[in-house]
């Protein structure tokens, strides 16, 4: 079997089988949450985290709000993908031009290996939220480019390879508050600095995804298309409810939606998803994929407070997606 992307061979991917008697397509890790809010002595919460395979083990970039409730991102390492050690200090970024470096906050990172390095994207505070881009070769030194887009934007998510010779990313144009709207767009770039050829990918629909949606983990390439896990938000009379599900996008024109799930795959139902700093949030930011076995491990934030794991198999997700798709 030919693995499509260097990150798609992860035989030691964290894994637990589906509970006996369950027929759920996605199931939670039985010892969730894997990262408690106070893993660091200074942390208020650790969630919405991006893990990747790294040197046969795992590394990642984690949203770690401190007890000021400042939002920033820290690196971390793990041998098994379950147990993590976090650097207590936020990442220090190297800059070419210090004039462009100031940032009010960083949150909700994603990480992707593309070609020769790990690219990091996150929501970056620059006169409002927008998409910051940086990279690292080794999780030791991190380099910051300029902001990719104008404010106001969130949920910048890179594709794991160039398409038609261009870098591609998702994002969600927003405003500067708790935005009550939001669709998924895609932008393209020759150099990770200048972005254009913006495309509308998909918008809100009914039910669990009626208020706003946003790309989750870096999409996974399958022979049938890009598998995207994405979050959706419903507004109840007591606030936002964040669930997540899946869509399949065209390989060459990834703004074309082939399938899109009508039901959610996972909605906040456990204590650690329903109770915390923001009740009723399940928010995925990373997905490890082992192509030979088809196993996928999804890292997602619970209640904007802790980090949890869920599991699924790529073929089961695709089958379910086809049966439950509504465009």
Q: Which of residues 219-258 bind a second copy (CB under 8 A)?
A: 234-241, 243
| Least Å from the CB of residue 150 to a second copy | 5
d(CA 71, CA 115): 29
d(CA 303, CA 197): 35
Q: How many residues bind a second copy (CB under 8 A)?
A: 72
Site mask, a second copy, residues 255-294, x = CB under 8 A? -------xxx--x-x-x--xxxxxxx--------------
Site mask, a second copy, residues 198-217, x = CB under 8 A? xxx--x--xxx-x-------
Q: How far is CA 206 from the centre of its chain?
A: 22
Decide: is 189 part of the binding site for a second copy (CB under 8 A). Answer: yes
| Least Å from the CB of residue 325 to a second copy | 12
Q: Are 305 and 31 in contact (CB under 8 A)?
A: no
| Least Å from the CB of residue 6 to a second copy | 27
Site mask, a second copy, residues 81-120, x = CB under 8 A? -------------------x--------------------
Cα Rg of the chain, angstroms: 18
Backbone angles phi, psi at 68, to 5 degrees: -80, -15
Report CA-CA distances (Å) from 106 to 103, 124, 231, 254.
Answer: 7, 5, 19, 27
Question: Which of 113, 118, 142, 195 lies at the binding interface for a second copy (CB under 8 A)?
Answer: 195
Nearer to a second copy, 144 or 185 (CB): 185
| Least Å from the CB of residue 77 to a second copy | 24
Give the helix/strand (H/E) hosting 272: helix 271-274
d(CA 179, CA 243): 16
d(CA 269, CA 285): 19
Nearer to a second copy, 203 or 292 (CB): 203
Decide: is 187 part of the binding site for a second copy (CB under 8 A). Answer: yes
Q: How far is CA 49 from the centre of its chain?
A: 7
Residues 116-155 that bind a second copy (CB under 8 A): 126-128, 130, 146-153
Decide: is 196 part of the binding site for a second copy (CB under 8 A). Answer: yes
Residues 12-71 that bind a second copy (CB under 8 A): 23, 37, 41-42, 44, 66-70
Backbone angles phi, psi at 98, to 5 degrees: -60, -20
Given the DSSP bridges, would you call strands 220-222 and 239-249 parallel, antiparallel or unpaired? Answer: unpaired
């Amino acid at each position: 079997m030919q693995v499509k992307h260097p990150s798609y061979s992860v035989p030691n991917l964290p894994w637990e089988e589906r509970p006996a008697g369950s027929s759920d397509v996605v199931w939670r890790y039985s010892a969730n949450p894997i990262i408690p809010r106070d893993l660091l002595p200074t942390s208020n919460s650790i969630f919405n985290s991006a893990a990747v395979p790294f040197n046969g083990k795992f590394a990642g970039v984690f949203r770690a709000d401190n007890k000021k409730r400042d939002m920033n991102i820290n690196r971390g390492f793990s041998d098994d993908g379950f147990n993590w050690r976090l650097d207590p200090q936020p990442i220090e970024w190297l800059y070419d031009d210090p004039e462009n470096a100031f940032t009010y906050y960083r949150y909700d990172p994603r990480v992707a290996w593309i070609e020769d390095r790990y690219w990091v994207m996150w929501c970056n505070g620059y006169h409002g939220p927008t998409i910051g881009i940086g990279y690292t070769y080794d999780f030791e030194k991190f380099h910051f480019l300029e902001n990719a887009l104008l404010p106001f934007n969130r949920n910048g998510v890179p594709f794991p390879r160039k398409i038609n010779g261009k870098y591609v990313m998702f994002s969600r144009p927003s405003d500067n508050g708790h935005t009550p709207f939001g669709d998924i767009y895609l932008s393209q770039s020759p150099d990770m600095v200048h972005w254009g050829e913006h495309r509308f990918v998909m918008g809100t629909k009914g039910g669990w995804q009626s208020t706003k949606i946003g790309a989750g983990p870096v999409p996974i390439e399958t022979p049938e298309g890009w598998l995207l896990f994405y979050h959706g938000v419903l507004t109840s009379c007591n606030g936002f409810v964040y669930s997540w599900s899946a869509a399949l996008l065209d390989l060459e024109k990834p703004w074309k939606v082939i399938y899109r799930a009508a039901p959610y795959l996972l909605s906040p139902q456990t204590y650690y998803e329903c109770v915390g700093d923001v009740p009723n949030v399940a928010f995925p930011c990373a997905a490890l994929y082992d192509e030979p076995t088809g196993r996928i491990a999804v890292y997602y934030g619970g209640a904007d407070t802790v980090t949890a794991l869920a599991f699924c198999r790529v073929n089961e997700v695709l089958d379910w997606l086809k049966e439950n798709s509504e465009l």
